[in-house]
Amino acid sequence: MTRKIKLTFVINSLVGGGAERVFTTLLSATAELTRNYDMTLILLDDETEVYKVPEWVRIIRLDCSRSFLKSILKLSAVLIREQPDITLSFLARSNVATIIAGLFARHQVVISERVNTSAHYGIGAKATALKACIRLIYRFASKVITPSSGVAEDLVQHFNVPRHKIVVINNPVDICMIRQRGQEIVQIPIEKPFNIAVGRLTKVKNFRLLIEAYAKCPDAPPLIILGQGPEEESLRAHVANLGLQHRVILAGFQDNPFAIMRHADAYVSASNGEGFPNGLVEAMALGLPVISTNCPSGPSEILAGLPQHSIDGLTHAPYGLLVPVRNVKAMAAALQLYNDFDLRARYAEAAAARVKIYSVEFALKRYWSVIQSLKPMVKGVH
């Protein structure tokens, strides 16, 4: 009898975030695969777990305190002991640590880079060091999965990742789950109409630009921002300085954002950089018309059906409105356009049709095709 393949997953933690949601969405769809695979999840950091892991996946919790060095050392020790056949990791620190640990433990490593690396990590000493590490290490992975062609191209052009190792797999969207959860009772007080934005409160998400656009568009409905992060205090101060306390509401992290999103007039993203904007596609699954900056990478592919391309101003894409990155005036103009009910209705219909191509089943099939392509090289498998 052929033994089961030992498959290990690695991620920093399961705190609230788009990558963590995608990760657990994929895990939750693997029940039928347990006939051929023993699955283990390694969490690098001891942090609050927002997302649930299915019962058939064994969990090993480490306490690396977000440290690169601790992540490499502790993960290496675990993988040498566990001796998996294949390891699949998500997020940059997990990816780097898993590749290095994989060299010691001698097994196949598949990594999944979730963001446009050049755009996401910005500038500064820490960002420069991380990019150098990615440039040095990522090429040693067996396969590199990216959520969009823009992320893939960035890794090839700027981080020395061989093109033949890259596989583009769009993030899965559990449309049925999102719509079901959208029907649940809203847990915070809301008044209609309103627009909504969702995401980690970080500089790269550029909620500051969205707030400034609201200051230039006084007749747009109020904005609710769902999320938490290091920029929260600064953003609250910015809202107060612009006198927008009654029009821009920072509502924090919500366990079920879909129940709130479903009631919104429109979804807005002002990000400077994405890998694949999960919140944007989830909003489309709820039938919301959307506005997004044309950031690298993902919005152009989703809303225009095109690879990353430059735009001069507010653009009517087939599935939503695109505006240039860091352009307050264009964002304000897009908000103004969505005061038109008929335009919102047309884009809501287009969004709901477009989102069907991002099914969980299709994404899982693609991920498993990558894993299965490595089976001939796995230790002990004949």
Residues 234 and 141 in one domain: no
Q: What is the Cβ-side half-sphere exposure of residue 370, based on CA atoms within 13 angstroms? A: 26
What global pTM score does this model have? 0.77
Look at residue 94 and tell me if it is in a domain.
Answer: yes
Q: What is the tally of structural domains in the chain?
A: 2
pLDDT higher at 382 or 322 = 322
Alpha-carbon distance of 255 to 260, in angstroms, equals 11
In a domain, 154, yes or no: yes
For residues 232, 234, 240, 246, the Cα torsion angle rounded to the nearest 10 degrees is -20
Same domain, 151 and 279: no
Residues 83, 96: one domain?
yes
CB 214 within 8 A of CB 239: no
Asked if the model's pLDDT at residue 250 lies above 60, the reply is yes
Residues 155, 223 within the same domain: no
The CATH number for 31's domain is 3.40.50.2000
pLDDT tens digit sequence for 137-165: 999 999 999 998 989 999 999 999 999 99
pLDDT value, residue 117: 87
Q: Tell me how far apart the terminal alpha carbons of the chain are, to the nearest angstrom.
A: 11
202 and 165: one domain? no
Per-residue confidence (pLDDT) for residue 380, from 0 to 100: 44
- Both 259 and 124 in a single domain? no
Burial 335-359 (b: 16+ CB within 10 A, else e): bbbbeeeeebeebbebbbebbeebb
> Do residues 76 and 222 share a domain?
no
The model's pLDDT over 253-293, given as tens digits with 9 standing for 90+, comes to 999 999 999 999 999 999 998 888 989 999 999 999 999 99
295 inside domain: yes
> What local confidence, expressed as pLDDT, does residue 102 receive?
92
Q: Is residue 167 domain-shared with residue 179, that is, in the same domain?
A: no
Residues 49 and 98 placed together within one structural domain of the fold = yes
List, for residues 327-369, the tens digit of each pLDDT value: 999 999 999 999 999 999 999 999 999 998 898 888 999 999 9
Q: What pLDDT, on a 0 to 100 scale, did the predictor assign at position 108?
A: 94
Q: Do 168 and 192 belong together in one domain?
A: no
pLDDT at 382 over 60: no
For 43-102, write each residue's pLDDT tens digit: 999 999 989 999 999 999 999 999 999 999 999 999 999 999 999 999 999 999 999 999
pLDDT on residue 322: 98
C-alpha closest to that of 45 among 23, 80, 71, 8: 71
State the Cα–Cα distance between residues 239 and 142, nearest whole angstrom: 46
Range(s) of the domain holding residue 180: 175-357
Question: What pLDDT shows up at residue 1?
Answer: 55
In-domain check, residue 50: yes
* Cβ neighbours of residue 365 closer than 8 Å, sequence gap 6 or more: none
Classify residue 124: in a domain, yes or no. Answer: yes
pLDDT of residue 375: 63
CA distance 116 to 44: 22
Query: Who contacts 175 (Cβ-Cβ below 8 Å, separation ≥6)?
Result: 285, 355, 356, 358, 359
Helix (H), strand (E) at residue 115: none
Is position 72 within any domain?
yes
Residue 359: the pLDDT is 86
Spatial strand order of the sheet with 223-226 comes to 248-252, 223-226, 195-198, 266-269, 290-293, 320-323, 315-317
Q: Is residue 74 part of a domain?
A: yes
Residues 288 and 364 occupy one common structural domain: no
116 plus 249 within the same structural domain? no
Q: How far is Cα 71 from Cα 92, in angstroms, rounded to an integer?
A: 12
Domain membership of residue 382 (yes or no) is no
Q: State mean pLDDT over 299-322.
A: 93
